Structure 1
């Protein structure tokens, strides 16, 4: 995200209806720079403003007011207004802009889940008519008044109650071109049709479904009339056939304004599909109608058309525009057209649509042979800006060319203005007039020149025979055969011409194309499904995994869930052709049928990856479930992909316009393995381990753009700290860390380490604000793929919120994004992402991010936290109509709830004084006792809650300044100095704990904070208090002069100095001191520090990793994960301070063994020699793996006398003791002497190693 751009965003505050609103304050901020198409514009801005081109980039305020389900029209007015004069800088921005003297809000209604809201819009700037000064509105209220009744909320057409596919045998067939098709009796028998004489054809091919809900939609399969040839015997049998008219995937429509026939390629399919059955009753034959008796206009010619439009290239890998021929090395292409019986004396209409990318204007020349027909100039684009339009597109019509024959050639010649200029052909389309002469065995025709009110047209078709059939195919499902007149090789008829009608003439004795047979399909009836809470749509190969998700929500959440094969959707809603509107219409069917919130669908899960290429079968394409692509395909800031399309369900909505009525998520999976990984994550998330990670929110801020991103990240952190203080907030601001220069550029290695630690330790939410792309965050290579693959947090999965550019561009099948990998990461990563798929911009990102935190901790009417789909839906709806919000997608399960702590941990007393009373100041070097309880959200104590509480005591909030690596330092307030972090028992809902206040506190007086997390076997709680004053020192403190005791281990406490580890061992430090351990970090040099191999660049601060033992502040443990250590010998040196500032140090040596091979060391038995019992021990380099162990004891001659087998899950690198009582396999004691033994170990990845040793028995 290189620039700070705000595009087409409405940010909305929502409140339930009242006569007037509460006072509303506008938080005006520094001016903002926008870059529409790469052009820099400076404009005014306020928090949650909308800036768009229609308002000349002036900030617009938007407000939503719930007015219920009644249908009334409202007016709105501003009152209690307060203005402020604009500064000279702000006035300069308004130069050359028209500012009104009055602020006049506009108001219109919108519908969200069948509830009506009034949306108010206005620009809060005026030119005071009394003073002539420019002023900005800073405070106001809104007053709503009912005006009149309005139209009803919904005027939906009802869906059929059941599908024709619910019973009978069905055969699916495919065609690729609009034509009359033939199927013989024998072919029907071969398909398995049992009663060919009752054959019916169902379907409605012919292009894509409408993307707007207001347009007519296909609902189930339509019965198409057929022509049945029964031969001379009048019985449909072996020598007979049927003919039927079928429309191919490319559609043509007449444009009355241009007078041309215009085409539209199908974005999702190269075929149209129809369905055959003989189980639906007698065949529906084409009815015959008589020719009209008189005419007032004659049609001697007809309109025909042809187009060259190949969908091969998508320039931005985004949007619907697909191009054909590339004009680069080859700059000229020729194309042949043929129109039999062309009216050669009439000019044809040529329309060409061309695209070019060049820093200066370029030109195409249209020719026929050596004759120049015309030129098309293509404007330049800014090739140096990645936010500017990538290329220019021009469409031009030519009507000055008259071909001399029915077959002619057209050429396009591209004139480059520079070597880097490049052009593309979108389409070359010809409209021509032909004489009404029958050609081939079938010929479609129509005549736009005969159209007129009250017209009856005489069509005279020459070169025919007496077998010719004339069909009116204007509406294929109600096709009619016209009884025409035949005489002297001429067929004529008179028909209504008040509207354009389509006809086809065909000779049933001739040859016709035959459709391709797809095969038999199973019965289905999506139209007959009961109302459901959740829809899961999946390709067939993922249905089993989708079923697991459905079972999970049915069992855990009591949700009604329907799992639907996407092919079944296409069969019932788009005549078998893939089409995104078919999926939307299915969802809309459930929405329209609902009668209340109770039976309204709530969640849609798309179980499969998507692709910008919705149609092709190119290698590695990821089009598992179709994607909605924007109309714009050339502007990086205006082209987008969004799953919101499937949730815009009201009648006046569609495309990307409207408010979400359902929560939508997608699993971007392509293989069964990926599907199982994500499914396991969702199902297992409910059983995640307990821990205070459930109350941790991490905010990451980029250091670019004058600290804008850190400032925004900090505002979000403050928003959480202020409104939800029971949660802990971690800030990772890039400018807080050392920036280094490497061959790859500027980097922040410590930031990557800090983020990985936050992930591995666990966070409920991780929020990033700043620049990014498909590879990671920021320009300094933050959170790259290798970082994601290193995470080990399978039971502590965070939700990621990434307000950055295209971090999760899931529809680019040529590249897997880092965002997708966070969800697809096995045994780690994230539980989901509310994330971006295209370029997004700072100011609207921040607005959406604020709205996200307005809802992510919300609860529903039953006191339950919202599910991810609800959070996403509410967040987006409050962020309005803009393109920017459409670039945010939920990769995850929309019906999942995060692992929020369920109850509240409450402080009761400090040093035996009730928290509601003034309490003693917590002074340095004093001992403090805290007591509390676990309560429900309604305030009742949980007497059955017994477990552990994890208190973290913080010193006062302090001001911190970043380093200023890339600009000015950024100052912010943080409260992260930990006085004490421990754990205490909770019994019957009650707890208490003690701790020692460190000498290193800030001695000024002020409020500290205690954060709690607690868990029992089956529930948890969080809480806080800031009603404690910290400061000063205890004058009567004990005179402690002894430093802490330190014991060091690797992986577990069985480790011995010099032992083996993997390349990523876990450092364990067991620490004890009578005064407690200093973790506050306020004084330089008093942190808990570990130094690896005496290298200063391998120094780790471990304050945050120390945790006291249960009910004992004097003893605790540090667990710190090392990673990617080199093979060989190492040592780690740890220094610890107590709360009185006495220090101690200890050093541990260890050996990192290569993980590629299984290695055993220090194989021994102890005691040795022994008399009755001994234990076998060994060290290995495969920590945290399952090991199969075989110990065989033999005499010195090699006779096997005892076999011991066992399996261990080794958390560390040391195994033992494996006990032996000195008896053989038959239970007999063996004699005194020397014996050999073999230890054979097999790891779970198949690696095997053997070691031999000897033992001595003394008896």
Structure 2
């Protein structure tokens, strides 16, 4: 009997962690025509079983539905062996080029369809690489089962919250980055520092907004984050000991709502406790030993500027920033460190106008005209409060400093108003230390296979690079060479890294009351058919 039980346990565990892999060929056709109202648009098309077209954004996606027999780990999706072909501008037809991303944006989620759980893989089938557009003609994907054994197609089993017992204290951050937590800061929260530091843990889900679709997988409890505790080895929390960890702020881009500002909160909360055993720690990354097939000394950067100040229609989730009714000419200045000026900037500026006459925005970057937007006049009582439009393009600049100037023309109608929504600047930067922590990634990492090698110059103050692709499980590469920091990665996956410079760490913030009362709404009120 004991042998039988042991066999079943081993079988279930190996089954739960099994990996699913499939090769996909994207069968492109010529194009398809849509007629929506009086509008007729043409877009490139592939096999309609996997084709999805968003008319409002003028973008296409590849979507593949999976039949699930077991629960899956939605964070385990890996895209590899990507094969691409160049697609000409004319073959894009009426697609909105500004909506074509520079990476696959692959995602895996669980959705409900006909009372069954289904997996849904979504990728961008056309991406921009440099000055060219590429279409995906084949790729491979893989994902793992989760630790649960079977898909529950009726009611999700809910366990007790981590907050059910123990002593918990909370603090908050606002912007994403590397944070340093000192002994004195924890004491200011009321936290008992007279514990084995190896037992100290930090929980939190970051500052991103919840998905609008309830079927999209998202943590239903606080998740423990991997941290680095400097000085914990002796089992005593000394005055000079400290914690480093990567925190995700409320400044995370959300493609569902087209915003880099959390619409519902300006604070991202994290929780600290010493309850239970030893905490999760940042592990050393495992570097491949093969010969590099691709070297990186530059990286792709995305800069956002956005303020949520005005809700034009006083309803819904769409917020805009600066108004142009009083000052019709406004400038916005940016400095992009280590900018490689041999590559053009890509800019995207989203605006709106509310006017009962014809109105327009004119745009200049570093005193160069880059275009204009014209808005139609409003019609009374038709339910439209304003018109929204965006301008995008590429521009070569000659310095790290970027000045963007917006001029609003109200068309002679005094009560007209223009609004800035957000500015997005994509650039290519040299991978060089400059005394600050900085996030970096390279889009070419996804679309190639083999081994990639990153080289950071002027890196004497960069002690580590963390891979923060999975914000809950960061891993570290350590600088062993000094001025040139070199590390290797396996290609075929889009990753995000952050350079750790101890002279530039962020400090968390606290509220007047930091103690968190024990609570278990998740395991009580919501632990029934009605609460799920």
TM-score where L is the length of structure 2: 0.67
Aligned residue in 1 for 2:434? 439
- TM-aligned CA deviation for residue 250 of structure 1: 1.9
Determine if the alignment matches structure 1 residue 344 to structure 2 residue 341: yes
SS at match of 1:290: coil
Aligned residue in 2 for 1:279? 275
Aligned residue in 2 for 1:397? 392
Aligned residue in 2 for 1:310? 307
SS at match of 2:522: helix
Q: Is the CA contact 2:231–2:242 (under 8 Å) kept in the aligned structure 1? A: yes
Task: Tell me which of 289, 293, 299 is aligned to 2:289.
Answer: 293
Q: Is the CA contact 1:303–1:433 (under 8 Å) kept in the aligned structure 2? A: yes
Q: Is the CA contact 1:159–1:219 (under 8 Å) kept in the aligned structure 2? A: no
Aligned residue in 2 for 1:189? 187
Aligned residue in 1 for 2:253? 252
Q: For residues 233 and 397 of structure 1, do their structure 2 counterparts lie closer, same or farther at Cα, with a shift above 3 Å needed? A: same
Q: Is the CA contact 1:209–1:218 (under 8 Å) kept in the aligned structure 2? A: no
Aligned residue in 2 for 1:418? 412
- TM-aligned CA deviation for residue 206 of structure 1: 3.1
Q: CA RMSD in A?
A: 2.8
Q: Is the CA contact 2:433–2:456 (under 8 Å) kept in the aligned structure 1? A: yes
Q: Deviations over 1:868-906 (max 9, x none)?
A: xxxxxxxxxxxxxxxxxxxxxxxxxxxxxxxxxxxxxxx
Aligned residue in 1 for 2:523? 528
- TM-aligned CA deviation for residue 376 of structure 1: 1.6
Q: Superposed, which structure 2 residues align to 1:708-719 within 5 Å?
A: none
Q: For residues 155 and 407 of structure 1, do their structure 2 counterparts lie closer, same or farther at Cα, with a shift above 3 Å needed? A: farther
Aligned residue in 1 for 2:505? 512
Q: Deviations over 1:566-593 (max 9, x none)?
A: xxxxxxxxxxxxxxxxxxxxxxx55xx4
Aligned residue in 2 for 1:48? none
Determine if the alignment matches structure 1 residue 478 to structure 2 residue 476: no
SS at match of 2:472: helix
- TM-aligned CA deviation for residue 186 of structure 1: 2.7
Aligned residue in 2 for 1:170? 168
Aligned residue in 2 for 1:180? 178
Q: For residues 520 and 452 of structure 1, do their structure 2 counterparts lie closer, same or farther at Cα, with a shift above 3 Å needed? A: same
How many pairs are equivalent?
381
Q: Is the CA contact 1:199–1:278 (under 8 Å) kept in the aligned structure 2? A: yes
- TM-aligned CA deviation for residue 234 of structure 1: 7.3
Q: For residues 372 and 451 of structure 1, do their structure 2 counterparts lie closer, same or farther at Cα, with a shift above 3 Å needed? A: same
- TM-aligned CA deviation for residue 335 of structure 1: 0.1
Aligned residue in 1 for 2:68? none
Task: Tell me which of 484, 487, 496 is aligned to 1:490.
Answer: 484
Q: For residues 453 and 375 of structure 1, do their structure 2 counterparts lie closer, same or farther at Cα, with a shift above 3 Å needed? A: same
TM-score where L is the length of structure 1: 0.29
d(CA) in 2 for partners of 1:252, 1:288: 28
Aligned residue in 2 for 1:802? none
- TM-aligned CA deviation for residue 313 of structure 1: 0.7
Q: Deviations over 1:948-988 (max 9, x none)?
A: xxxxxxxxxxxxxxxxxxxxxxxxxxxxxxxxxxxxxxxxx
Aligned residue in 2 for 1:1035? none
Q: Superposed, which structure 2 residues align to 1:595-744 within 5 Å?
A: 600=530
Aligned residue in 2 for 1:1182? none
- TM-aligned CA deviation for residue 455 of structure 1: 4.0
Q: Is the CA contact 1:290–1:483 (under 8 Å) kept in the aligned structure 2? A: no
SS at match of 1:213: coil
Q: Deviations over 1:300-344 (max 9, x none)?
A: 111222222111111111011111111122111100011100011
Q: Is the CA contact 2:371–2:391 (under 8 Å) kept in the aligned structure 1? A: no
Q: For residues 324 and 381 of structure 1, do their structure 2 counterparts lie closer, same or farther at Cα, with a shift above 3 Å needed? A: same
Unaligned stretches of 5+ residues in structure 1: 1-36, 38-108, 116-151, 256-261, 531-588, 595-599, 602-648, 650-1259
Aligned residue in 1 for 2:446? 451
Q: For residues 466 and 323 of structure 1, do their structure 2 counterparts lie closer, same or farther at Cα, with a shift above 3 Å needed? A: closer
Q: Is the CA contact 1:340–1:434 (under 8 Å) kept in the aligned structure 2? A: yes
Q: Deviations over 1:915-974 (max 9, x none)?
A: xxxxxxxxxxxxxxxxxxxxxxxxxxxxxxxxxxxxxxxxxxxxxxxxxxxxxxxxxxxx
Q: Is the CA contact 1:231–1:239 (under 8 Å) kept in the aligned structure 2? A: no
Q: Deviations over 1:1069-1112 (max 9, x none)?
A: xxxxxxxxxxxxxxxxxxxxxxxxxxxxxxxxxxxxxxxxxxxx
Q: Deviations over 1:207-229 (max 9, x none)?
A: 10111022112210111011111
Runs of 4+ more than 6 Å apart? 231-234
Aligned residue in 1 for 2:378? 381
Aligned residue in 2 for 1:267? 263
Q: Is the CA contact 2:294–2:451 (under 8 Å) kept in the aligned structure 1? A: yes
SS at match of 1:449: helix
Q: For residues 303 and 253 of structure 1, do their structure 2 counterparts lie closer, same or farther at Cα, with a shift above 3 Å needed? A: farther
Q: For residues 328 and 523 of structure 1, do their structure 2 counterparts lie closer, same or farther at Cα, with a shift above 3 Å needed? A: same
Q: Is the CA contact 2:206–2:248 (under 8 Å) kept in the aligned structure 1? A: yes
SS at match of 1:189: helix
d(CA) in 1 for partners of 2:249, 2:432: 24
d(CA) in 1 for partners of 2:155, 2:466: 30
Q: Deviations over 1:532-561 (max 9, x none)?
A: xxxxxxxxxxxxxxxxxxxxxxxxxxxxxx
Q: Which has the higher helix share?
A: 1
d(CA) in 2 for partners of 1:222, 1:310: 29
SS at match of 1:410: strand
Q: For residues 355 and 511 of structure 1, do their structure 2 counterparts lie closer, same or farther at Cα, with a shift above 3 Å needed? A: closer
Aligned residue in 2 for 1:1219? none
